[in-house]
Amino acid sequence: MRDFIEAEEAKSYFTIDKAETLLPKIEKIVRRLRQLSNALDLLEGVEIEVEEENYAHLRHVTKLNREFHKFSYEFYRKLDELESMGCLLKDLELGLVDFYYKFENRDIFLCWKLGEKSIRHWHEIYAGFESRNPIINLARK
């Protein structure tokens, strides 16, 4: 329960303008996360059979493992950078990022997708991407 309370305290709320000023930086981070994820998938997919007598092969295995851990470390460092800004990465493949927003005394998410030039959608906290609404609807609710 304590971890949940600490997470709640760390929640950052955004205005649309504040979220949009971060989009260039967020876009760069999300693109890098996708590259790192693809590299990790490739390295993880390599099947290696270790032959103790073959020193060159053993060195190659060590290099692949080092690269995997280097990319893994950078991946989580970038993810932490994004989360430290108050953003929530919802789907890396689609490039979905949500931002907490206070509306009518409740939390909702402003929703952004990689490739969009501005924040144009929102959805309820417990709804997903498929339930996105245009920002213009916020004024009507």
Q: Tell me: pLDDT of 132 over 70.
A: yes
In a domain? residue 76: yes
48 falls within a domain: yes
Coil, helix or strand for 112? strand
Q: Give the per-residue pLDDT at 45.
A: 76
Q: How many domains does the chain fold into?
A: 1
Indicate the pTM of the whole model: 0.81
Residues 90-120: tens digit of each pLDDT: 999 999 999 999 998 999 999 999 999 999 9
Write the pLDDT tens digit of every residue in 16-69. 999 999 999 999 999 999 999 999 998 887 666 666 666 676 777 788 888 899
- pLDDT band, residue 3 (cuts 50/70/90): low
Residue 74 counted as domain residue: yes
Whether 7 maps to a domain, the answer reads no
Own/partner pairs, 33-38, CB within 8 angstroms, 24+ separation: 33/75, 33/78, 33/79, 33/82, 33/89, 33/92, 34/92, 34/93, 34/95, 36/71, 36/74, 36/75, 36/78, 37/75, 37/92
- The residue segments making up the domain with residue 58 are 13-139
